């Protein structure tokens, strides 16, 4: 499956791609449990998508890693598609990177990133369900 073919609310996503960027992790407290979340950018030959990493996944992947998502789920937040493993999916690192950023696709093939938000808004783009904890 190619990133360009992904649609919002799509499940059973199986794909292999490279981590080309990774943001700083954030912690949150939901239902009395503390967790960690981080956004990364996943890229293949067809395009890129934001990948949401939860808890142990945050430390599992680094820039340059090739990963395999099995049974992932595509959601949409503020018009932007986001991929995660969801409740039933898995993430496997199949090739370790060097932490060096990979060459990016030409601008016309990469979705525009949303404007930078204020620190006050940093948790507004995270939807946390009890299943994610």
Q: Residue 32 domain-assigned?
A: yes
Q: Residue 108 domain-assigned?
A: no
Q: Write down the pLDDT at residue 51.
A: 97
Mean model confidence pLDDT for the chain: 82
Total tally of structural domains belonging to the chain: 1
Q: Residue 131 domain-assigned?
A: no
Q: Write down the pLDDT at residue 96.
A: 86
pLDDT tens figures, 52-90: 999 999 999 999 999 999 999 999 999 999 999 988 999
Q: Residue 103 domain-assigned?
A: no
Strand ranges for the chain from DSSP E:
13-22, 26-30, 33-44, 47-54, 66-77, 80-84, 90-95
Q: Residue 123 domain-assigned?
A: no
CA dihedral 103, 105, 111, 117 (to 10 degrees): 20
Tallying the residues shown for the chain, one arrives at 133
Q: Write down the pLDDT at residue 70.
A: 97
Q: Write down the pLDDT at residue 131.
A: 54
Q: Residue 94 domain-assigned?
A: yes
Q: Residue 84 domain-assigned?
A: yes
Give the structural domain span for 92.
Answer: 3-98
Structure-block tokens of residue 117: 């938000």
Q: Write down the pLDDT at residue 114.
A: 46
CATH of the domain at 91: 2.40.50.140
Please give the model's pTM, rounded to 2 decimal places.
Answer: 0.70
Q: Sorting pLDDT into bands at 50, 70 and 90, what band is 123? A: very low
């Amino acid at each position: 499956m190619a990133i360009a073919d992904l649609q919002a609310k799509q499940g059973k996503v199986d794909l292999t791609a490279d981590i080309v960027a990774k943001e700083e992790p954030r912690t949150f407290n939901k239902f009395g449990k503390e967790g960690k979340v981080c956004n990364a950018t996943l890229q293949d030959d067809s395009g890129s998508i934001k990948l949401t990493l939860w808890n142990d996944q945050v430390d599992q992947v680094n820039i340059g890693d090739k990963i395999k998502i099995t049974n992932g789920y595509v959601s949409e937040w503020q018009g932007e598609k986001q991929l995660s493993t969801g409740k039933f999916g898995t993430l496997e690192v199949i090739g370790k990177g060097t932490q060096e950023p990979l060459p990016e696709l030409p601008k016309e093939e990469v979705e525009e990133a949303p404007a930078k938000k204020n620190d006050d808004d940093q948790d507004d783009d995270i939807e946390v369900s009890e299943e994610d904890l």
